[in-house]
Amino acid sequence: MNAAPTVRILVVDDNPASRYATRRILNAGGYATDEAASGRDALAQAAAADLVILDINLPDLSGFEVCRRLRADPATGSTPVIHISAAAVTTRDVVSGLDGGADAYFVHPVEPAVLLATVGTLLRARSAERRLRRSERRFRAVVERADTGIVLLDDDWALVEVNPHFARLLGQPQAVLQGQPLGALLADDGGARLAEIDAARARDEPWAGVLSLRGSGGRAIETEWRFSSGWESGTRLATVTDVSERHAMERVRELLLERERSALADSERARSEAERANEGLELRVWERTADLIEANTRLEAEIRERERAEAQLRQSQKMEAVGRLTGGIAHDFNNLLTAMTGNLELLRRRLGTDADPRSGRYLEAALDATGRAASLTHRLLAFSRQQVLAPKAVDPLALAISMQDMLERTLGESVRLVIDPAVVPHSVLCDANQLENVLLNLVINARDAMPEGGTIRISCSDAPTPGGAGGQVRLDVADTGTGIAPEVVDKIFEPFFTTKPSGQGTGLGLSMVYGFAAQSGGHVAVQSELGRGSTFSLWLPRADEAGPLPARATAVVPPSARGERLLLLEDNGSVRPVLAEALRQLGYAVVEAADGEEALRLLDESADIDLVVSDIGLPGADGREIVARARERRPDLPVLFVTGYAQPTAGAAPDTPPNASILSKPVRLETLAVAVRDMLDRQPD
């Protein structure tokens, strides 16, 4: 096991021989060690340690008491503690140690591999906890800087937490608002509205409406509240927007319209009087009235168009902001999942076929869970337009026809699938595998909208752009289902929004479609009418010629090394050891680098590097810049990128250098093995 030299472990034992034996095991594992022979000496040194191995029987304090004091001190409260006892222990001793805050309990003699594995696991858990806290701080910063009010309430309608924007809206400090009942802030009797929100919560449905709040000085503030679905037990989360100005403008517009109607009535009376006085005036009065009506109609149309454009702009800005946030979160989780998946697979290899069957089942269940988590992060990256795409020319109609048998098995007997071959469109430029996933998502979404059965129709057509330059291809998926309510049509592409019952969908299918379309240079839209069905239309850029259909994945045996030497460049301390160990088990010689400068130094020192395996998102210069500098020394150097996400370029695809490939995290070790062997086999002898 190779550990970072900065990791220090404090060994506390009054027996010098036991301290020496434990220190030898840890030093062999690559850890730096400090020693203490008493409880008070241990307390004095613990703040500098990353982990403490603690004997129970010490001359001044018991190990249990030392552990309790470590947990009570903020400086050492999260430091992992392992109890090791040389004396026979009872179950009560083990329980007392764990209750006192210890993370593990062993009895001498301890198997070195077990001790090192436990130490590594506890250190990784502590590192993951620190990253999670940093992620939580970033999320809280987003909430604190949001330009809309955000409020968390409990079951009794008391304000648990509010952000600064909401406090500024009411003109009161956050500390004063937190703990107040919402009813005390209402400018009128809002009991009926609160009952509506409770009813929506009981149905696990979103709710939006206007509540009048009492601001500073007693002034009434019209605010729009939005409660999302997926309520947590005991909490309500709402966004709050000031709509007082908008309502005031609407009242002014109503007054203007009333004035115009009054003016029309006055004009009618004047016309009657003028008709009696002089029939020649009638025509002039009607001409002026017609001009007024026309101007008024134009004004109303302009107001409606402006409101529609403002709504589209707000929606676009919100989707962009949510996309950036979800992309960052997905990248962090992909690194965590890579470390977890890799360690689980290494453990499975270590156990082998002689392992306890129950252990095997537990491992497979954990791997299955990490696979499902990886699928969710890939959908988040698709929505945020940060997934790795391989665009090429694809015939969309041929792709749909090739999927027909699989789609019909998915739909069942009550749903009829029709693929319209009447129009043979141009090919499109996109990732064929992702287009296949998009089509599957749209068809499943259409099936779920037809619980009583119906028909799904897939059709394609060319959609030329204005002016005749270039063009697009339109792919339609239409159903005869229940349709979508008008009030939720604008939200269906948002991540985690779903109209399905709880537990019957992640809410990421349509958001993945939205992100794929945008990243591919196209867009997606929906037309729906309640009771008559929906049509989802996907526009994609036209390509010059059709390419091959995506190949189906086949199982392969992970290939082994043939004496090659690899350079692994990865800054994440949890991911790098896993990838390095997996490659070494395949027989490769591996040298490791935590940053770009170290990687370039190793390349200068080792002329026999056959392949570089590199992350893209590195501190300072990214992986592609490091590769460019490395190829100034060795122009033919092959590279395999392994990344949590690829930064999109103008072509909506990662700027991959020649003689290089990309794998997306989290990566299975078998996939990594195949990709490494493929890159090496492609090199000339």
Segment 130-138 shows an average pLDDT of 80
pLDDT at 248: 55
**382 falls in which pLDDT band (50, 70, 90)?**
very low
Which residues have CB under 8 Å from 345's CB, separation 6+? 367, 582, 668, 669
392-541 fold = Heat Shock Protein 90 (3.30.565)
**221 falls in which pLDDT band (50, 70, 90)?**
confident
- Which CATH number applies to 8-142? 3.40.50.2300
Residue 490, pLDDT above cutoff 70: yes
pLDDT at 467: 44
**554 falls in which pLDDT band (50, 70, 90)?**
very low
Please provide the DSSP assignment of 446-481 as one string. Answer: HHHT-TT-EEEEEEEEEEPPGGGSS-EEEEEEEE-S
Pick among 3.30.450.20, 3.90.1720.10, 3.40.50.1860, 2.102.10.10: CATH of 146-242: 3.30.450.20
Which of the residue ranges 191-200, 353-362, 547-556 has the most confident prediction, judged by mean pLDDT?
Answer: 191-200
Residue 99, pLDDT above cutoff 50: yes
Of 639, 645, 640, give the one whose Cα is nearest residue 666. Answer: 645
Place of tokens 């909208």: 449
Kindly tell me the burial class for residue 614, based on how many C-beta atoms sit within 10 Å of its own C-beta (0-12, 13-18, 19 or more). Answer: buried
Residue 538, pLDDT above cutoff 80: yes
Q: Which residue has the higher pLDDT, 265 or 324?
A: 265
DSSP state of 608: T
Q: Which residue has the higher pLDDT, 454 or 492?
A: 454
- Which CATH number applies to 565-681? 3.40.50.2300
Look up the pTM and report it.
0.37
Across the beta sheet with 454-463, what order do the strands follow?
415-419, 454-463, 472-479, 533-541, 523-529
Lowest-confidence pick of 56-70, 249-263, 418-432, 556-570 = 249-263
Residue 141, pLDDT above cutoff 60: yes
